[in-house]
Structure 1
Amino acid sequence: MILVSATLAISIPAFRVVNLQRRSIDERLLATTALANLGERITAENYWNSLNLERLNQYKSRLINQVDLKEPQLKIALVEKETDLNIRQVRLQLSWKNPHGQMVDPILLSLWFHGRRDSNE
């Protein structure tokens, strides 16, 4: 009886830790998949000349309603390269809180859009 109770006393906290780790991995997989799908949607629905921050911000509510994460936060940035005005970058950053209420390391995704160059370049 003592051996069984000692085994249970050790096993129950270990199972709890394993369950929290599994949940953390599941959340990261869900977030990664959702962000990748959003990236594909943005790439399919937009062109270099149609990109603007107002249009990109319309995607925020779709993703936040889609994922089952605690307090998800999506940041979208549109960056134009000073060295080459024919390149635009869309940066997506998704973060959320873990079961302990701490912010997790964000998932980042960059999308690149290239404009057309003149034929004399």
Structure 2
Amino acid sequence: MTTSTAERDVRQDLVAHDSRFHALILSGAGNPVIGQAYAQTHCHLHIFRLYPKDIDSAGTVAEHRTIAEAIANADPESAEKAMSDHIKNSFKRFARAFEAGARSAPLAGLTSLPLRLAA
């Protein structure tokens, strides 16, 4: 079964959003050790997103919004809680997908290239 262009576009947008969001957070943190650790693990999350076709992006985007609002409001306690919740929820989402047999699911049709360059 193939993935529609619309599904690919939404998933590609999520990956782009996620990458930009985390890059901004890491840039603001100014901690190169955390940045390096993230760089070494985050690519695996995007590779994983190639497989499950049922990952809900709404939860991820809502969690990012909560984190961004806490940072914008200079509320470190809320930002820390929101980040912790996001990490826990992300783990649960990935674990559910693996339990559902996501590894054997068809590829979602994402590429590592921007859509305008992908064939």
For normalisation by structure 2, the TM-score amounts to: 0.32
The structure showing larger relative contact order (alpha-carbon pairs under 8 Å, at least 6 residues apart) is 2
| Larger helix share, 1 or 2 | 2
Which structure: larger Rg? 1
